[in-house]
């Protein structure tokens, strides 16, 4: 057997991992061998012919760039939405500070929700058990009742957890909150007022089933609940 044959038999082709390690450890390899890079061809994604490695890399980079642009636009949109919400909550806080009594707090809250937040289907429930802090007549927007009232049993879990909740509401909840048009409400945001919902709760309804969904952030809703709860309880002292 000749030495040439022995050499051919003894040669072992490098594995894919070997090639990857080599190219990773020597990033200037293709820069020193530009002709090789231009002559490498890969199957076309559509199955029609082949494209050079450079063309494939450019296509991958363009696709990554499109995805990054889409993510950036989404982040900018979320940032603008949060900024607008922050401004509205700030205006609500200023309005509540200016309110002289609990009746003024209720009126201001209804007006801000309607004018700044575009929420026309809203209800605030104030509990007598906290204190008789609201000296005004019940309206479509305002309800007053004992926390242990039978009508509030559908909200027992929500009141116990005392955390904002968004999504579809049960029929019994909708019939209590929006008796005149419960079938038209697609989603609801429930907001506890005060520590452990001791003051009451605020409900914001929407005809859009996707307006309030379980996956949305409730940070701003929690702030609204804290502001309104404190404004009402402090005016009642």
What are the tens digits of pLDDT across the range 222-237?
A: 999 999 999 988 865 4
Radius of gyration of the chain (CA): 32
Give residue 125's pLDDT. Answer: 93
| pLDDT tops 60 at residue 191 | yes
Q: What is the DSSP letter of 137?
A: -
In the chain, what percentage of residues exceed pLDDT 70?
Answer: 80
Give the DSSP H or E segment for 55: helix 53-98
166 three-class SS: strand
Q: How confident is the model at residue 204 (pLDDT cuts 50, 70, 90)?
A: very high
Kindly state the tokens that stand for 56: 């494939």
| pLDDT tops 80 at residue 135 | no
Nearest to 88 by CA among 58, 114, 50, 126: 114
Question: How confident is the prediction for the chain on average, in pLDDT?
Answer: 82
Q: How confident is the model at residue 189 (pLDDT cuts 50, 70, 90)?
A: very high
Task: Tell me the C-alpha distance between 111 and 114, whole Å.
Answer: 5
The per-residue b/e assignment along 131-150, b for 16 or more CB within 10 angstroms, e otherwise, is: eebbeeeeeebbbbbebeee
For residues 154 and 37, the model is more confident at 154
Across the range 151-169, mean pLDDT stands at: 94
Across the range 181-205, mean pLDDT stands at: 92
| pLDDT tops 70 at residue 98 | yes
pTM above 0.75, yes or no: no
Across the range 76-87, mean pLDDT stands at: 80
For residues 107 and 23, the model is more confident at 107
Q: How confident is the model at residue 78 (pLDDT cuts 50, 70, 90)?
A: confident
């Amino acid at each position: 057997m000749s030495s040439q044959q022995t050499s051919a038999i003894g040669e072992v082709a490098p594995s894919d991992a070997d090639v990857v390690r080599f190219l990773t450890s020597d990033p200037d390899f293709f820069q020193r061998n530009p002709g090789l890079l231009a002559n490498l061809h890969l199957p076309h994604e559509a199955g029609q012919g082949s494209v050079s490695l450079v063309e494939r890399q450019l296509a991958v980079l363009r696709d990554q760039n499109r995805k990054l642009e889409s993510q950036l636009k989404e982040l900018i949109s979320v940032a603008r939405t949060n900024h607008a919400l922050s401004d509205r909550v700030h205006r609500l806080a200023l309005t509540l500070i200016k309110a002289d009594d609990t009746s003024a707090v209720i009126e201001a809250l209804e007006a801000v929700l309607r004018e700044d937040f575009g929420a026309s289907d809203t209800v605030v429930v104030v509990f007598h058990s906290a204190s008789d802090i609201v000296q005004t007549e019940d309206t479509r927007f305002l309800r007053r009742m004992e926390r242990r009232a039978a009508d509030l049993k559908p909200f027992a879990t929500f009141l116990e957890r005392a955390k904002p909740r968004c999504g579809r509401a049960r029929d019994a909840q909708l019939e209590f909150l929006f008796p005149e048009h419960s079938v038209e409400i697609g989603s609801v945001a429930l907001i506890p007022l005060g520590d452990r919902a001791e003051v009451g709760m605020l409900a914001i309804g929407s005809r859009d089933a996707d307006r309030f969904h379980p996956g949305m952030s409730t940070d701003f809703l929690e702030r609204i609940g804290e502001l309104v709860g404190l404004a009402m309880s402090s005016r009642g002292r």
